[in-house]
Amino acid sequence: MQKFFNTAGACIPEDHYMVSMAPRFECLKKLIDNKRYFILHAPRQTGKTTLMMQLMEELNQASQYITLYVNVEAAQPLRNDIEAVNELIVSEFESKAAIYLRKDWQPQEDCFKIRSMSRGISDFLSRWCLQLPKPLVLLMDEVDALIGDGLISVLRQLRNGYNQRPRAFPHAMCLIGLRDIRDYRIYSDESKRYIIGGSAFNIKDKSIRLNDFTLEQIKALYAQHTEVTAQKFTHHALQRIFDLTRGQPWLVNALGRELCFDEYAIDWKETVHKADIDTAAEILIARRDVHLDQLADKLTEPRVARIIESILVGEDTSQTETEYNLNEDQQYLIDLGLVRLGTYGLEIANPIYREIIPRELTAYQQNMLGINPQWYVKPSGRLDIDKVLAAYIKFYKQHNELVTKRKTYTEAAHHLLFMAWLQRIVNGGGRINREYAAGLGRLDLCIEFADEQFAFELKLNHKEALSEGKEQLVNYLNRLSLDQGWLVIFSRKEVTDWEAVGKQKTYSEGGKRIDVIWL
């Protein structure tokens, strides 16, 4: 069977191209040898399950431990029903042991003689470990998917059995999930208060975050395809994969699948170039594959919207939130893999996500604009940017309610409507590159159409918006080696003077032409 780039479920060495697990195993094995209870956390679809399944197989093939991987997410809907949560998790131990372990290592009948299901997990593991000929290593996935008193019960049972290891409790244990346990805030209906995960499970020795792929790992992954098929990737193509994905494992594999195996795959006899990577990325974005669709769904959560909106407009828009809540929301988005801490502060985790977010937030508006992109293309095939802007000003005056009546992302409403307009036009044969981050005080756009580039800077209006915007745009133009750009300043106030809407003025700044539009 031909190996391929996997984007669905855990990777299997016989079926899929895989990054070497060896460097990651060394750290985990050392913790296991030292009888540690530890946390492995990372965003979804970054390889946690693949790593744990491979670790289980390798340890079971060796002679020192008996290792079991189990996913407890199925207990999530049971919420605060502690006995039902325990019963379901015990049944998961039983079923996964039957699948992955030898018959003589599986739990015997005595393991299930549990006095109280409120202590079912602890009792089960104690009885099972006493039966086993070797120490048990337990890998528990999706623990942070559990809710409320059910989660608190599980954590406390594991903590209470800790001192019995390795004879009557697992020798070592890894809890796997999206978040570090210190970031769990669990509401207990029984106690009527929040419990911090670290207090319910204060035996954690170490927390490990599974990192994204490095450029070298991406090169090694794609080299496996080259070895099998002789298809080559230029250095610039591989660098572009890293630049667009920042090493996010699902995206790296999804690009490989698109380039080499799917409907528009490049013939294996042909070398893959940088431009091919951009084309494949655009296909992924437009098609909204499962991973990207799930990502977009998170944008509707209020705690996500608060942070993303601040990043979009480049300044803090959370007027009513406490610093504690904002810090918690920020960590939540980092754990989801949506954002990261960059040079200027919070920024979207990678350029592909950065492109998806504004498109997703404006998809409906784009489809309702009633624009034929060809109206704005000159006979030469180039974009008539003056016609685009004049038409937008007219459209905005007629449909101002698309900004004023927006229910979510209200501070970014101007930015989003303007981007929806541009995106609908550019879809006819160009692309938009976006740069935005919290603290920048702006959003930068560069339209690439035919053989031209058009640079825009979008800002919310305040006392220094014009002076700051001109300086910022000059810097942006210098980076792009352009002589002209557009500064668009959006008013936060309700429009009372429609004559002033769309006012334009041209400035010369730093040797550049700056066309300013007030909306």
Task: Write the DSSP string, 8-24.
Answer: SSS--TTTB-----HHH
Mean pLDDT of the chain: 90
Total domains present in the chain: 3
Annotate 433-465 with DSSP letters as a single string. EEEEBTTSSSEEEEEEETTEEEEEEEEE--TTH
**What single DSSP character describes residue 205?**
-
Q: Same structural domain for residues 361 and 397?
A: yes
Same-domain check for residues 174 and 228: no
- Written as one letter, the residue type at 82 is I
- What pLDDT shows up at residue 493? 85
Segments forming the whole domain that contains residue 237: 215-287
C-alpha of 53 from chain center: 22
Q: Is the pLDDT of residue 188 over 70?
A: no
Is 12 among the domain residues? Answer: no
Confidence bin at 487 (pLDDT 50/70/90) = very high
Average pLDDT of the segment spanning 303-320: 84
Q: Judge if 158 and 257 occupy the same domain.
A: no
Give the DSSP per-residue string, 17-73: -----HHHHHHHHHHHHTT-EEEEE--TTSSHHHHHHHHHHHHHHSSS-EEEEEE-G
Instruction: Answer with the one of 253, 268, 287 that is the final residue of a domain.
Output: 287
pLDDT value, residue 404: 84
**What is the mean predicted confidence (pLDDT) over 337-352?**
89
Last residue of a domain, one of 178, 209, 240: 209
76 Cβ neighbours under 8 A, 6+ residues apart: 142, 145, 146, 147
List of residues 6+ apart from 61 with CB closer than 8 A: none
Count of CB atoms within 10 A of residue 47's CB? 22
pLDDT in tens, 404-426: 888 889 999 999 999 999 999 99
pLDDT confidence tier of residue 381, bands split at 50, 70 and 90: very high
pLDDT in tens, 136-187: 999 999 998 888 888 889 999 999 999 999 999 999 999 999 888 776 676 6
- In 3D space, the residue among 499, 429, 503, 510 whose CA is nearest the CA of residue 472 turns out to be 510
- Rounded to whole angstroms, the Cα distance separating 320 from 247 reads 35
How many CA atoms, within 13 angstroms, populate the side-chain half-sphere of residue 327? 5
Same domain, residue pair 176 and 64: yes
Which percentage of the chain shows pLDDT scores above 90?
66
On whether both 323 and 432 belong to a single domain, the answer is: yes
In a domain, 45, yes or no: yes
Q: Widest CA span of the chain, in angstroms?
A: 84
- Look up residue 144 and give its two tokens: 């942070």
149 and 219 part of one domain:
no
| Strand blocks (E) in 184-268 | 185-188, 193-196, 206-209
Secondary structure letter of residue 4 according to DSSP: B
The pLDDT of residue 196: 67
> Are 266 and 197 contained in the same domain?
no
For residues 407, 503, 472, 350, the Cα torsion angle rounded to the nearest 10 degrees is 30
3-state secondary structure 97-117: HHHHCCHHHCCCHHHHCCCCH
Give kind and range of the element (H or E) at residue 239.
helix 235-245
Average pLDDT over residues 474-487: 97
Question: How far is 141 from 120, CA to CA, in rounded Å?
Answer: 18
Residues of the chain above pLDDT 70, percent: 95
Residue 122 lies in a domain: yes
Q: pLDDT band for 323, please (50, 70, 90 cuts).
A: low
Gap between the Cα atoms of 69 and 92, Å rounded:
10
* Both structure tokens of 179: 């978040």
Instruction: Tell me what pLDDT residue 62 has.
Output: 93
Q: Residue 15 domain-assigned?
A: no
Same domain, 340 and 259: no
3-state secondary structure of 296: helix
